[in-house]
Structure 1
Amino acid sequence: MNFELLILGTGSATPTLEHNPSAYLLTLDNEHFLIDCGEGTQFRLLEHKVRSHRIRHIFISHLHGDHYFGLIGLISSWNLNQRKEDLTIYGPKELAEILTIQFKHSQTYLHFKVNFVATDTTVASRIVETPLITVETIPLVHRIDCCGFLFRTKENKRKLLADKLPENFPVPFLKMLKDGLDVQDPLTGQVYKNEAYTVSGGQSKSFAYCSDTAFHEAIIPQLQNVGNIFHEATFTDSELKRAITTNHSTARQAATIAHKAKAGQLIIGHYSSRYKTLDNHLSEAKEVFENTFLATEGATFKLL
């Protein structure tokens, strides 16, 4: 299973020469999930040669511009390029109104279907379920309604041990074994134990995206034992008061969430433009949670 995160942009508020506005591409095998879509995201996708038809889901955490101002441009370009694949956008209910107005007054008529799913930022709820993955919202605390997203892959079907199976074993029995079931031959009564003829197809993996948020320990139970967490770390300890007043987090606070959730690894980002170096972000986070990494544009993380 290929499960990885590409950092397209991890700045906050305003773009800088070092960082682009928020945008992250989560890949599960051949399917892409775009998480937030700050200004210029379509250029980042072109730079990384991302095949747009593989992006069927876009998740917008909240309506501060650095997280969604790139959306209308991206959709418009896909339309000009004759996209045909359906697209589903998940985000605050007001986003549907914003997009409708923009398309109306620009006289943009889409050649592909866009579905919209409004997110409830007050409760954790499942918004996606496919044969490969589920996605839940994570209620966050920010100056406007905001939620994160928790992605969990489903365990692969069990793999058959072909050399141990009888010749001409019936196809329906093979399917039952791959589904984790024991099989009993109705003619002979012989039982084929699943564990004797299959091995695990691979464990589930998980990724939590915690966008703009104040330090909010209430999310820890939902994140318990998550393999990978991205958590905003707009500030360092020196700006703790500013973090509190703006409903953002420090690197140390992000690490505290990961530590208490017993996460596998932590990726921090969404840096304030005031910082010219990120050394303090990393060192302060590592004091609490050693397996911490800095999100930087163009970096790809293999998710645990």
Structure 2
Amino acid sequence: MAFQLKILGANSATPAYGRHQSSQLLNLENHFMLIDCGEGAQMQLLKYKAKVSRINHIFISHLHGDHVFGLIGLLNTLNLTGRTEDLYIYGPYQLSEMVTVQMRATHANLKFKIHFSVTDHLQSQVLYENPLFTVHSLPLDHGIACSGFLFREKEKPRRIDKEKLKPDISVADILDLKEGKNLYDADGSLRYANEALTLPPKKSRSYAYCSDTRYQEKLIEYIEGVDLLYHEATFMHDEAKKANERYHSTTIEAATIAKKANVTHLIIGHYSSRYKTLKPLLEEAKMVFPNTSLALEGEDYFIDDK
């Protein structure tokens, strides 16, 4: 099943050099979730032929414009194109007020209901859960209320080894086997050990999104061992002082977090508009964490379950 991240925008502050502001689309087991919604996000969704109508959850890290100015336009478009299904939006406490005021001022009578959930930027919390995965918030250090997001699959059922399946195995037996149970006869004697008929479950995958934040090692406990980490790297490391003053991170700092957290793959983004070319940022991060990629618009990043 799919675990696919598409980058819609990865620039900071303002659009520059053809780069748009922060926004990502995550497809997790055919649940489509938008992460941040910078200006132009809906145009990027159209450009890359994303199924906008299937987005039911939107996660906003904080209320700086480069992460949220595209939201009102997207909501209006969803309304104009006939959406009636409820929409769930997660973000700082002022987000609902911002949306409500603009919808009222523009006389946009939404035909669908929005459920707002307030994120607590001081601690991790469960924002959403279904039988397949959970979404937790991550406390970030950005000077204003700002949260990252951790998407983690739940433990998967064991797999039936079809080559070893016995003719006397019923559908109920199969369900028990997937739950890791042994099979017993009516008198209580062991009929089949679970391990004799099943294979280990497929890998449970994870993705952590750390938008605007200063370097902070307390993140490590939350993102330890994730398969894919997006961490902002607004500046190269020669601007470390400026990064700290502006509550941002450098390439080296992002890579250091990835290394200390033992993640599998790092994606850096939220590039300052001072950088026309991004290759030097990638090269610098790779000095610390070799398995680093740039967040490039239109690129897909897949997490395998093997």
Q: Does TM, normalized by the shorter one, top 0.5? A: yes
TM-score bracket for the superposition, by shorter chain length: over 0.9
The question of 1:249 aligning with 2:249 is answered: yes
Could you tell me how far 1:167 is from its partner in structure 2?
A: 2.2
- Percent sequence identity is 49
- The CA deviation string for residues 209-232 of structure 1, in whole angstroms up to 9 with x for no partner, is 000001111111111111111000
Q: Aligned partners of 1:225, 1:237: CA distance in 2, in Å? A: 25
- Whether the 8 Å CA contact 2:220–2:261 is kept in 1: the answer is yes
Cross-structure match for 1:61: 61
Cross-structure match for 1:99: 99
Q: Aligned partners of 1:22, 1:181: CA distance in 2, in Å? A: 45
Could you tell me how far 1:168 is from its partner in structure 2?
A: 4.7
The question of 1:233 aligning with 2:233 is answered: yes
Cross-structure match for 1:122: 122
SS in 1 for 2:69: coil
- Whether the 8 Å CA contact 2:17–2:276 is kept in 1: the answer is no
Tell me which moved more, 79-88 or 208-217. 79-88
- The CA deviation string for residues 75-124 of structure 1, in whole angstroms up to 9 with x for no partner, is 11011111122211010011011111111121212222211110000001
Alignment of 1:272-291 (within 5 A): 272-291=272-291
The question of 1:206 aligning with 2:211 is answered: no
Q: Aligned partners of 2:162, 2:237: CA distance in 1, in Å? A: 57
Q: Which amino acid aligns with 1:156?
A: K
Alignment of 1:1-150 (within 5 A): 1-150=1-150
Could you tell me how far 1:43 is from its partner in structure 2?
A: 0.6
Consecutive unaligned residues in structure 1, runs of 5 or more: none
Inter-CA distance 189–287: structure 2 relative to 1 (3 Å threshold): same
- The CA deviation string for residues 113-168 of structure 1, in whole angstroms up to 9 with x for no partner, is 21111000000111111111111111000021101001101233222223423325
Q: Aligned partners of 2:236, 2:24: CA distance in 1, in Å? A: 22
Could you tell me how far 1:26 is from its partner in structure 2?
A: 1.1
With the length of structure 1 as denominator, give the TM-score of the two structures. Answer: 0.96
Q: Aligned partners of 1:195, 1:189: CA distance in 2, in Å? A: 16
SS in 1 for 2:177: helix
Could you tell me how far 1:255 is from its partner in structure 2?
A: 0.1
Cross-structure match for 1:264: 264
SS in 2 for 1:93: coil
Q: Aligned partners of 2:202, 2:87: CA distance in 1, in Å? A: 29
Cross-structure match for 1:178: 178
Could you tell me how far 1:171 is from its partner in structure 2?
A: 2.1
Q: Aligned partners of 1:53, 1:37: CA distance in 2, in Å? A: 15
- The CA deviation string for residues 152-206 of structure 1, in whole angstroms up to 9 with x for no partner, is 0123322222342332523222111111211212257343211111113311111
- Whether the 8 Å CA contact 2:182–2:190 is kept in 1: the answer is no
- The CA deviation string for residues 216-265 of structure 1, in whole angstroms up to 9 with x for no partner, is 11111111111111000000012112101101000000000000001101
Tell me which moved more, 151-160 or 184-193. 184-193
Q: Aligned partners of 2:110, 2:258: CA distance in 1, in Å? A: 41
- The CA deviation string for residues 26-67 of structure 1, in whole angstroms up to 9 with x for no partner, is 111322111000011011111111112321111000000000
SS in 2 for 1:262: coil
- Whether the 8 Å CA contact 1:90–1:119 is kept in 2: the answer is yes
SS in 1 for 2:157: coil
Tell me which moved more, 226-235 or 25-34. 25-34
Q: Aligned partners of 1:128, 1:191: CA distance in 2, in Å? A: 40
- Whether the 8 Å CA contact 1:53–1:85 is kept in 2: the answer is no
Cross-structure match for 1:296: 296
Q: Aligned partners of 1:290, 1:163: CA distance in 2, in Å? A: 40
SS in 1 for 2:102: helix
Q: Aligned partners of 1:263, 1:154: CA distance in 2, in Å? A: 18
Q: Aligned partners of 1:218, 1:164: CA distance in 2, in Å? A: 47
Q: Which amino acid aligns with 1:231?
A: H
Consecutive unaligned residues in structure 2, runs of 5 or more: none
- Residues paired across the two proteins, number: 304
SS in 2 for 1:214: coil
Q: Which amino acid aligns with 1:96?
A: S
With the length of structure 2 as denominator, give the TM-score of the two structures. Answer: 0.96
